[in-house]
Amino acid sequence: MPSLREIEKTLTTLWTNGEARRWFLAGATLEQAPDSVAELSAEMLPELDKRGIELYGNLIGYGHHDVLESIYPHCAFLLAGEWQSVMEDYFLKCPPVHYNLNRICQPFSAYVTEYGGKYLKRYPFLAELADYEWIELEKMEDPREVKRVGGENISGLEQIVGCAPVINPTLILRRYEYPLLEIVEKLEEGQKLPAKIKKSATVIAVFREADSHGAEFMELGETVVKLLEKTLSEKVSYQDLLLQFLADNPQSSPETGIVEFLEIIEELQSSCLLVGSRQLD
Amino acid sequence: MAFLEIKKSLPQLGVGLGLRRELAVETFANGDKIDWLEIIPENYMELGGAARERLDAASACFPLVTHGVNLSIGSTDDLNQEYLSALKKLLDKIDAPWWSDHLCFTSCDGVYMQDLLPLPFSKEASKHISSRIKYVQDFVQRPFLLENISFYMNVPGAEMSETEFFSQILEDADCGLLLDVNNVYVNSINHTFDPYRYLDQLPLERVVQIHVAGHKRIDDYLIDTHGSAVIEPVYELLEYVLQKTEVQAIMLERDQNYPDFAVLLDELSRLRQIANATGLFLDRQKLLGHKLNASESINLERIEEISQRGREVRALSA
């Protein structure tokens, strides 16, 4: 009698591997078996209920495909008729190794990059679009708490010298080669995408908003990116950021530069990329 | 302490419903008609944002227990420690009086199939599962209930009946039973057996919680969809069990094809009538305790706002 391990491996292979399942359901011989059935328990096969194998194969496949499509609706829309086979191939190449249903879809962007050559020729931004769709979910579910800590208004010299910005703990910066915000906007509005979309490097801040818990996407200019990257990478005061800002913008007078800097900080605070300030030690 | 002794100290929760994002507003709005809530822990483990805020609100208003879908107690893979740690953290946070999962496997070689998959009714499987239940009960330090699943094919390697297999595990592991009477009904049709005889063969004294749900016919099978109204034979099975044993909680499972909430309230009311007729859950104030006040003060607009988007795991199998 096969062991519990052999039984589980045999069933799992037949339920999750479409090629193996089709071979089994067709009643073909072991000599005709595809490579994927190498580890099957041969003595079990005659005893297996074909309709049951087919039903569980369909239930498992449906569950996996349903969640992938719900997380990547724009990718699904663009791939249309090929989406079904893409989903099947994705779960073969990237088996679902996480207990959380949503997380089994995380590697889809990497899958598109590695295996989606023919789709990338048609939609060269597809891997970035997949990343964008994943990040939206990831930020909504991020376990870190987004909480405003006070001190959003920075005005006086004392605060600039003695305080540091508190960054939204869910914030990440994504550098895309294509204009993702424009692409997603067109897809959401049901507009047809241009036949060719030109590269246009963008940096997008992605984060969860404190009150709505929604994932927010914000395109940033290089000056703001530099300020945020500095804030993300080291402990900095507003003074440190201001000095960097002034050095990067020599065309502005110091007075104008300070005003512009404070306007940027106010914008970052109000949009929740920063969630307040803290006193420096 | 032996499980049957532990059972005596478990609280009477009454008649409850699953906390689902789509039903959240109505669920909170009807806190006076729902005694407790069951959550799928995988929808809340290590997650923040709206899910956590909804959980915090639910925890303030209702007693909560978890009903997991990916413990994979029957798998020959090692138990997933990351999963268990996250689950324990959640159970501690909501102070659940017990927790449950299914008699099935959901993973093999580290791959999660995200469905409740049947096992062979073998001595090897029984021993393997009992030992794993003992481990997880020790680790989590809260009473564990094991639920019977709907299954759609017999797995080769059976050395005993399903009830013998299930009973042996419950006795050897010394854990509780979450009895799903809809699953009993569905299996009795799909596999042609007498559901009452099936119930008579189980150690019903171990039942702490009962699940009631609807199902759907798809081709030749009844499928446990949790997406239809509860049918009369399933209510009758519930009645039969309650005449034989005292339980702590009854729960209506609804995971898709949501009807008007009034329909669910009627089903909950029917469950309460059946329980009351056997002398169970008669003192509702005692069941609800202080949580009723919290439910009355909940901000429903906020619950609606945070329940607009997201994706949750259902109880699978369909």
pTM: 0.94
Kindly determine whether residue B115 and residue A7, on different chains, have CB atoms separated by under 8 Å: no
Confidence at residue B291, expressed as pLDDT on a 0 to 100 scale: 66
For residues B210 and B214, give the distance between their C-alpha atoms in angstroms, rounded to a whole number. Answer: 14
Domain with residue A236: its CATH number is 3.90.930.50
Kindly determine whether residue B152 and residue A56, on different chains, have CB atoms separated by under 8 Å: yes
Minimal Cβ distance to B111: which of A55, A96, A146: A96
Contact between B204 and B171 under an 8 Å Cβ cutoff? The reply is no
Whether residues A262 and A152 share a domain: the answer is yes
Sequence-separated (6 or more) residues with CB below 8 Å from residue A90 = A68, A108, A111
For a pLDDT cut of 70, what percent of chain A falls above it? 100
Number of domains in chain A: 2
Q: Kindly report the CA angle at B300 between B296 and B303, in degrees rounded to 5? A: 125
Whether residues A188 and A243 share a domain: the answer is yes
pLDDT at B318 over 50: no
For residues A152 and B81, give the distance between their C-alpha atoms in angstroms, rounded to a whole number. Answer: 41
**Token pair in block for residue A166:** 């508190």
Nearest CA in chain A to B313: A101
Q: Residue A84: which pLDDT band, with cuts at 50, 70 and 90?
A: very high
Domain boundary among A108, A140, A172: A140
Interface A:B, Cβ pairs < 8 A: 125
Q: Note the ipTM here.
A: 0.93
For residues B41 and B313, give the distance between their C-alpha atoms in angstroms, rounded to a whole number. Answer: 9
Whether residues A124 and A93 share a domain: the answer is yes
Name the DSSP letter for residue A155.
-
Minimal Cβ distance to B50: which of A2, A49, A140: A140
What is the pLDDT of chain A when averaged over all its residues? 94
Whether residues A183 and A103 share a domain: the answer is no
Domain boundary among A82, A117, A140: A140
Question: What residue numbers bound the domain in which A232 lies?
Answer: 145-279
* Distance (Å) from the alpha carbon of B143 to chain A's nearest alpha carbon: 22
For residues B179 and B150, give the distance between their C-alpha atoms in angstroms, rounded to a whole number. Answer: 11
Contact between B112 and B70 under an 8 Å Cβ cutoff? The reply is yes
Whether residues A114 and A202 share a domain: the answer is no
For residues A234 and A227, give the distance between their C-alpha atoms in angstroms, rounded to a whole number. Answer: 11
From chain A, pick out residues whose CB is under 8 angstroms from the CB of B316.
Answer: 63
Whether residues A15 and A133 share a domain: the answer is yes
Give the pLDDT confidence of A94-105 residue by residue, as tens digits. 999 999 999 999
pLDDT at A40 over 90: no
Mean pLDDT computed over A249-276: 94
Rg of chain A's alpha carbons, rounded to an integer? Answer: 26
Rounded to the nearest angstrom, the gap between the alpha carbon of residue A24 and the centroid of all alpha carbons in its chain is 36
Residue keyed to tokens 């009631």: B212
Confidence at residue B317, expressed as pLDDT on a 0 to 100 scale: 45
Contact between B18 and B45 under an 8 Å Cβ cutoff? The reply is no
Kindly determine whether residue B51 and residue A141, on different chains, have CB atoms separated by under 8 Å: yes
Whether residues A129 and A156 share a domain: the answer is no
Whether residues A167 and A227 share a domain: the answer is yes
Kindly determine whether residue B111 and residue A63, on different chains, have CB atoms separated by under 8 Å: no
- Name which of B181, B170, B164 is nearest B240 in CA terms: B181
Q: For chain B, say whether A173 makes contact (Cβ under 8 Å).
A: no
Kindly determine whether residue B111 and residue A16, on different chains, have CB atoms separated by under 8 Å: yes
Mind giving me the DSSP string for A192-261? PPPSS-----EEEEEEE-TTT--EEEEEE-HHHHHHHHHHHHS---HHHHHHHHHHH-TTS-HHHHHHHH
* Distance (Å) from the alpha carbon of A34 to chain B's nearest alpha carbon: 20
pLDDT at B296 over 80: no
Rounded to the nearest angstrom, the gap between the alpha carbon of residue B316 and the centroid of all alpha carbons in its chain is 12
- Name which of A222, A228, A226 is nearest A201 in CA terms: A222
Whether residues A59 and A78 share a domain: the answer is yes
Give the pLDDT confidence of B201-213 residue by residue, as tens digits. 999 999 999 999 9
Whether residues A15 and A77 share a domain: the answer is yes
Q: Residue B316: which pLDDT band, with cuts at 50, 70 and 90?
A: very low
Domain boundary among A70, A105, A140: A140
